[in-house]
Amino acid sequence: MIHTTFWAIVVLGVLIFVHELGHFLLARFHGVKVLVFSLGFGPKIYVWRSASSGTEYCLSAIPLGGYVKMLGEGDEEPVAPEDLPYSFHNKAVMPRIMIVAAGPFFNFLFAFLALSAAHMVGVGELLPTLGSIAAHSPAEAAGLQKGDRVTYIDDLPVTRWSTLSSTIKSSEGRVLTLTVERDGKTFLVKITPQLKESKNIFGEPVRVPLIGVGPGDKIEAMRYGVLESMAKGWDHTWSMTQLTLTSTWKLITQVISADQIGGPLMIADMAGKAAEQGTSNLLFFMALISVNLAILNLLPVPVLDGGHLLFLCIEGLRGKPLQETVQMAANRFGMTVLLLLMIWALKNDLSRFFPLGQ
């Protein structure tokens, strides 16, 4: 329990810091005075005030978020005339959009850097060694056996299982020529994948070409150079972003049950397991949570960054902001939605970890 709690605080603390750092740096860049930079909500545990800028840096009791409070933002007292040049609301719309968008942008940037670092540290990759052969499958008919290693599909070199799997699934059922190693010998096998009904990661039925093989248990740590790691970091960040956007839409359209939403207990459990599996696994997990945090904050829900961006875009189009009463009502609605979502996620966590009747 202590182990998982520690890593949950580390993961959330780093990602919250990165998010708020984005807001903070862009605010300072555009000459906005930052009053408070807080990691966490609620009662302040530790406070340090900068003598030069006057900013309060705080560590607060509830480690489930953070905030950057800027001069002229929120329901504070009127800004003194001499401080107006440093007020958030006194800036033009575009600088304010950049300040608000910087939080999610920094989360995407963190994901890219974390995934790039993971590939430099070393990523465990399944080797293209066959672990199982399904009965009455194309693989069995072609004479493939457990322990065989595929080195080529047609003219494509195969060094990891992911390449083998993705190439077969994208083959559209055409005949493939596999180069196979067995007991020190190499031979060619022609095989035609069959369309089989399977389920994707969202549990939806799909028909994909398969040959009826499963992976073995041989794993190799693959380390890459800086440029190749950055390329892979970019690819994985984009894939995670697409996956998160698709998952979010399927949740909204109820293709995925809302019972799949996880909360702090689930994050804590997954963080602890990722840390046990090594540095690269932890970096992958942090990148995934960072992308999720970025996309969650970009949803057009009042009180989130996406809601603020929506208001700012409307202000830019209208030439003036929405009425304060409208914004306040929208923010109350957004806060209610977030509170209900948090309660639902916590309920799901409790159901997973403390099931009734067991």
Helical residues (DSSP H) of the chain, grouped into ranges: 2-29, 93-121, 138-141, 161-169, 226-252, 264-276, 279-298, 305-318, 324-353
Catalytic residues: 20
Angstrom CA distances, 144 to 4, 128, 153, 175, 242, stand at 43, 13, 14, 15, 35
Nearest to 127 by CA among 153, 84, 175, 159: 159
Torsion (CA) 123, 127, 132, 136 in degrees, nearest 10 = 120
Angstrom CA distances, 23 to 32, 65, 86, stand at 11, 14, 15
Q: Per DSSP, what are the bridge partners of residue 259?
A: none
Q: Which residues contact 259 (CB under 8 A, 6 or more apart)?
A: 348, 351
